[in-house]
């Protein structure tokens, strides 16, 4: 049951944020852009991810575009406290072993279950929250590809994980 419950809108344009002029039509000047940056990944991807007392994310697949600014909001829709049913969102670099990472995270209670010695494995992460709370992070979508995300609260990753797809 993957794609059914997408709630986020790509290219959302909350009126409060700075309006981005989509490159006003420029006559092709002389200098061709050196090393053209990734093709116009404009706008912000607003992603809302919910996790409840049932130890599940509502999204097991999240799609964004390369270079896009990702605004991810994690809501804990349950009632249980963070020390019993804490949730977070951790986006891992490619090639990281989930099981090994989760094991390291288990030992990182003092750091919100974010293993300090594995910083290189982490692209982005939220803090760990309890029922009724939300937290938000903003990061830049990495290079095209498929990445894993998980909740690193002990024991959760087996059920709380998904694919973060950058197109």
Residues that bind Cu ion (CB under 5 A): 87, 151, 153, 156, 160
User: Which residue's CB is nearer to Cu ion, number 115 or number 166?
Assistant: 115
Torsion of CA 22, 43, 15, 127, to 10 degrees: -150
Give min distance, CB of 159 to Cu ion, in A: 8
User: Which residue's CB is nearer to Cu ion, number 10 or number 159?
Assistant: 159
Burial class of residue 153 (count of CB atoms within 10 Å of its CB; 0-12, 13-18, 19+):
buried
Q: Are 126 and 135 in contact (CB under 8 A)?
A: yes
Give min distance, CB of 56 to Cu ion, in A: 9
User: Which residue's CB is nearer to Cu ion, number 54 or number 167?
Assistant: 54
Give min distance, CB of 92 to Cu ion, in A: 15
Cα gap 155→162, rounded to integer Å: 15
Give min distance, CB of 86 to Cu ion, in A: 6
Q: Are 80 and 130 in contact (CB under 8 A)?
A: yes
User: Which residue's CB is nearer to Cu ion, number 44 or number 113?
Assistant: 113
Residue nearest to Cu ion (CB): 151
Give min distance, CB of 84 to Cu ion, in A: 10
User: Which residue's CB is nearer to Cu ion, number 47 or number 160?
Assistant: 160
Q: Are 166 and 141 in contact (CB under 8 A)?
A: yes
Q: Which residue is listed with tokens 């938000």?
A: 136
């Amino acid at each position: 049951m993957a794609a059914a419950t997408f709630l986020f809108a790509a290219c959302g344009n909350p009126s409060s944020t700075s309006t981005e002029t989509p490159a006003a039509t420029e006559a092709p000047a002389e200098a061709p852009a050196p090393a053209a940056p990734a093709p116009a990944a404009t706008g912000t991807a607003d992603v809302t991810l919910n996790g409840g007392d049932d130890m599940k994310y509502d999204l097991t697949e999240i799609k964004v575009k390369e270079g896009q600014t990702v605004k991810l909001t994690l809501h804990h829709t349950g009632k249980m406290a963070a020390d019993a049913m804490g949730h977070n969102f951790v986006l891992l670099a490619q090639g990281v072993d989930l099981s090994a990472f989760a094991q390291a995270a288990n030992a990182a209670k003092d750091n919100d279950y974010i293993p300090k010695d594995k910083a290189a494995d982490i692209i982005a992460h939220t803090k760990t929250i309890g029922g009724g709370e939300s937290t938000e992070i903003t990061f830049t979508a990495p290079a095209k590809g498929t990445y894993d995300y998980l909740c690193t609260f002990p024991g959760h990753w087996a059920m709380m994980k998904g694919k973060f797809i950058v197109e």
